[in-house]
Structure 1
Amino acid sequence: MSSKSYPLRLPENLLKLAEIRSKEERVDKSTALRQLMYEGAENYVLELIGKGRLSIGRGAEILERAPYEIYRLAEEKDVDIGATMEQYKKGKRIAERKIEAEE
């Protein structure tokens, strides 16, 4: 994952939350802040996918994950993104068989 420095003002309560997390998770405050931001990004991507505003493939690309991980994440967070993990696996098996048959 690439990163880029960005100047940002953070609310005091978010900094306090990061401090709590850094103690709980035994990580530095910067890491705790990044974790909190990434969790928010995951939730927002799942929300956009659920609304049909973002494809699963694009969401996976943004979060730097495989599409099946997006299905797993949605299942863990109990978010409806249209298709289930089982439907994804079934579609993948069908596609693989079709590719094998063409070879």
Structure 2
Amino acid sequence: MEQQEVVEKLHRGELMLMEYMWSKKSILFKKEIIAAMKEKYTWRKSTTEILLKRLVKMRILKKKIVSFKSNYEVLVIKKEYLSARKEERCISKDNNFF
């Protein structure tokens, strides 16, 4: 995915979920993600589902349904996200010069 498409800054919860997704480096079922977030952060199922939905809407994750089960694939790798954030900060800094 091109960096220009990744413009939205992730909020804290979204970033926490994405850190987990980036660490796994594979396609994960929703059930696995929910269990991991509950164990790691004591999040409720609904919290994780809302964050997953937002990340799909932002095109950071891709949702697929296989055999009546939802799975999620990372579309934006961590390096791309961080690079886009760094680039945005530089542009912002240049625009505030005067």
Task: Indicate whether the TM-score tops 0.5.
Answer: no
Q: State the TM-score bracket (shorter-chain normalisation).
A: 0.3 to 0.5
Q: Given the two structures, how large is their TM-score scaled by the length of structure 2?
A: 0.36
- Identify, as 1 or 2, the structure richer in strand: 2
> Based on CA coordinates, which of the two structures has the bigger radius of gyration?
1
- Identify, as 1 or 2, the structure richer in helix: 1
Q: Given the two structures, how large is their TM-score scaled by the length of structure 1?
A: 0.35
